Structure formats: C-alpha cells, structure tokens
C-alpha cells in the first residue's frame, strides 16, 4: 500500500509512543496521529468525499493541516493546498478549476474562501480536525497505486491563470528517496516547519518525508524572527527549510544570541542567489550546521539540486548538483526554438514569483 497514511500506521504499530508532531505546545505521538488521520478520513467521508475527489484547503500551518494531508490520501482523494494570501477571486478560480468538492478554511481566512462547499475551522479544529468529526466512524484505507494522483498544487500563473501541477505517488516517493540519500534523513531527523505548508518548500523539502522515516516535525503557525530560534532551542531540532527572507530576518534579529541553536545540523535555502556574507553569517550563528543552497520546482516536488557539503563558498551562486534520479540539461540559449524560449521565460518568471510570495511569510 502506498497511501501516505500507510507509513504512519507502520510507525504507530512499531513505535506508538514516539512523537510525530508538535504544534502549539502539544506533542502528538505516532499512535495518536494515526488515530486522528483515520477519524479525519471518516469525517471527510461523511462530507461525501470519495476516492478521486479533490479536497482543497485554505489554511495556515497547523496540526490539522497535516492531518488533512494524510486523511485525504487515506481515502484515495486528492489534496489541494491553496496559498492563503490569494484574493477571493483567485481562490475561487483555483477551487473551481480543480473541481474541488470541499474547501476547508481557517476561520480567520473565510473572507477569501470561494469556489466549493466551505467548512470553517475554529482554533480548536486547527489543533485537530477531529474536533469536527462528531460521530463519524474512522474510515478504512482506499488503496492507491503509484501512478494515481496524490496532490494538486497551483503555480503562480505568470503567463495566464494559475495552472495545476499534478503530483502522483510516484513523484512523492521517488523524490523522498532522493532526499533521503542527499540529506541523510532518518528516524532521528527533527525538522522545523515554519514556512507556509501550501508551498512545496515547507511540505516537501523534506517536509512530510521525515515522517516516512519515523522522524519528528515541529510546526509553527507563523514566522517571526525569534520563532525558529526558540523552537530549535526548545526541541533540539536538527533540520529546517528557510526561505531567504527568513534566514536574513533571523541573522539580523538583535536577540538571536539568547538561544542555543547548536542542535541544528543543516538548513535548506534557495529561491535566489545566496551571497557569501549570508552563508558566513549563517555559519557563525548556527555553528554546527551547514547552509544548503538548493533549487527545485513545484512540478518536481521540490529539491532537484543540493549544494555539496564544504563547497558553499567555493561555488557561490550555484545551487549544487542534481540528486540521484534527476537529470538537468541547460539549453544553449542561442539555439532554442520559440516554444523552448517561452518555456524558459515562464520558468524564470515563476521562480521570481515564488520568491515574492514567500517575502510575506511573516504576515499574520
């Protein structure tokens, strides 16, 4: 079985008391997370969701967000995270274009919800979607195959309306395997998730792949400069993904010296050329960690290249080498035909748009 919930169930049986998640001070074991997923899947089924249906969310980071990622897969349905900074018109277009049967939205974001049947989550439900499940019976797993659609993620639409990227289970598991090789993921990986989970960086770089190994994820709802520093110190986190604007905010935070961040071993960056001064400042603050420049696309589940350890300064401006099952070809610009030229320009524009979207990640 390849449903995402299958590996949570595996760890729940083998190490039921091992912590899987932490959100707003609550630590959630693998056994509890497994039970929540099944209950949330039962609630979704009670809303009429079946295999192949699209479930959209307009949510900030929360434990409920990840419960829905796994519960949707458990039912064989398709998960659609929507950027919560988009306008109501943009949200409505994406939900409608994807054919979403349900749009689950945080209470504070309801003004921008449109395009499907809407369910609103209050603060309690954000802590766990099971607060909405009532008498719903935990749902059985609907078995998926590698080529089945797992998730839809809409790109920024620089040339027209946003376009839905279709990610299969094959896409996710192959990329997770590659990141395991490149990053050394294991049950001992303790990941900080502070970037927005609607984005491939927070959800997949390495994101939920850590749970594949039985590791631990701490989820922060919003970003403030001290938030990741305090989280790393409190839970001895050893891995993270930061958008460049986040890294800069932490490095310039006047109170950063108050926190013991010695547990951090690596942090992935990317999205823009990383200057030498930022890498050196990062190494000074996080003295046991390396800054990993990376590059990837929503279309490829993120993280296609990683900088090799020890070459960060030598290769300033590079995003490293391709991972195990990725091949990269750089076209010779002078010989491109018109279609390839348009694709190249669209790719560059989308990369710039993603960086701009993440600039606002500290907003309330």
What own/partner pairs with CB < 8 Å and gap ≥ 24 does 245-249 have?
245/358, 245/359, 245/361, 245/362, 246/194, 246/195, 246/361, 246/362, 247/278, 247/282, 247/291, 248/278, 249/223, 249/225, 249/362
- Whole-number Å distance between alpha carbons of 350 and 355: 9
Tokens of 309: 């350890």
**Range 83-88 average pLDDT:** 96
User: Higher confidence at residue 137 or residue 355?
Assistant: 137
Of 110, 109, 84, 113, the residue nearest 100 (C-alpha): 113
The contacts of residue 199 (CB under 8 Å, 6+ apart) are 83, 354, 357, 358
Tokens of 107: 């209470």
DSSP-assigned letter for residue 314: T
364 pLDDT band, cuts 50/70/90, is very low
Beta bridge partners of 219: 23, 193
Check pLDDT > 50 for residue 23.
yes
DSSP-assigned letter for residue 141: P
Q: Cα torsion for 218, 223, 225, 226, to the nearest 10°?
A: -40
- Whole-number Å distance between alpha carbons of 298 and 354: 10
What are 184-242's pLDDT values in tens digits? 999 999 999 999 999 999 999 999 999 999 999 999 999 999 999 999 999 999 999 99
DSSP-assigned letter for residue 84: T
Q: How many degrees, rounded to 5, is the angle at CA 39 between CA 5 and CA 67?
A: 50
What are 259-303's pLDDT values in tens digits? 999 999 999 997 777 889 999 999 999 999 999 999 888 989 999
DSSP strand pairing (305-306 vs 294-295): antiparallel
Indicate the average pLDDT of the chain. Answer: 91
Q: pTM score, two decimals?
A: 0.90
DSSP strand pairing (216-219 vs 19-23): parallel
What pLDDT sits at residue 266?
97
- Whole-number Å distance between alpha carbons of 132 and 215: 27
- Whole-number Å distance between alpha carbons of 40 and 221: 20
Cis omega (within 30 of 0) for bond into 206: yes
Check pLDDT > 90 for residue 59.
yes
For residue 211, how many C-alpha atoms fall within 13 Å in the half-sphere facing its CB? 32
What are 68-80's pLDDT values in tens digits? 999 999 999 999 9
What pLDDT sits at residue 1?
82
Tokens of 92: 């409505």
Of 10, 28, 5, the residue nearest 18 (C-alpha): 28
């Amino acid at each position: 079985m390849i449903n995402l919930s299958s590996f949570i169930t595996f760890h729940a049986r083998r190490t039921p008391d091992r912590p899987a998640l932490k959100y707003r001070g609550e630590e959630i074991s693998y056994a509890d997370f497994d039970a929540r997923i099944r209950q949330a899947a039962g609630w979704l089924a009670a809303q009429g969701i079946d295999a192949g249906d699209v479930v959209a969310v307009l949510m900030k980071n929360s434990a409920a967000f990840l419960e829905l990622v796994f519960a949707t897969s458990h039912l064989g349905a398709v998960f659609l995270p929507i950027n919560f900074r988009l306008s109501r018109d943009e949200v409505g277009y994406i939900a409608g274009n994807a054919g979403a049967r349900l749009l689950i939205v945080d209470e504070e974001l309801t003004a921008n919800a449109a395009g499907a049947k809407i369910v609103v989550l209050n603060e309690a439900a954000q802590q766990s979607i099971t607060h909405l499940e009532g008498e719903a019976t935990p749902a059985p797993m609907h078995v998926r195959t590698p080529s089945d659609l797992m998730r839809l993620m809409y790109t920024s639409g620089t040339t027209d309306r946003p376009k839905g990227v279709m990610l299969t289970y094959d896409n996710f598991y192959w990329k997770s395997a590659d990141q395991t090789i490149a990053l050394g993921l294991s049950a001992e990986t303790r990941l900080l998730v502070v970037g927005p989970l609607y984005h491939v960086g927070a959800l997949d770089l390495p994101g939920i792949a850590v749970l594949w190994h039985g590791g631990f994820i701490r989820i922060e709802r919003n970003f403030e400069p001290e938030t990741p520093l305090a989280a790393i110190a409190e839970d001895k986190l050893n891995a993270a993904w930061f958008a460049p604007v986040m890294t800069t905010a932490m490095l310039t935070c006047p109170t950063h010296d108050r926190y013991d961040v010695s547990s951090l071993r690596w942090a992935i960056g990317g999205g823009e050329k990383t200057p030498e001064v930022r890498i050196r400042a990062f190494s000074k603050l996080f003295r046991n960690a390396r800054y990993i420049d990376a590059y990837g696309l929503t279309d490829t589940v993120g993280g296609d290249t990683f900088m090799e350890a020890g070459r960060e300064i030598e290769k300033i401006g590079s995003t490293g080498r391709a991972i195990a099952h990725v091949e990269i070809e750089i076209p010779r610009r002078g010989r491109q035909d018109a279609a390839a030229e348009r694709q190249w320009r669209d790719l560059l524009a989308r990369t710039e748009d993603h960086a701009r979207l993440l600039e606002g990640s500290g907003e309330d």
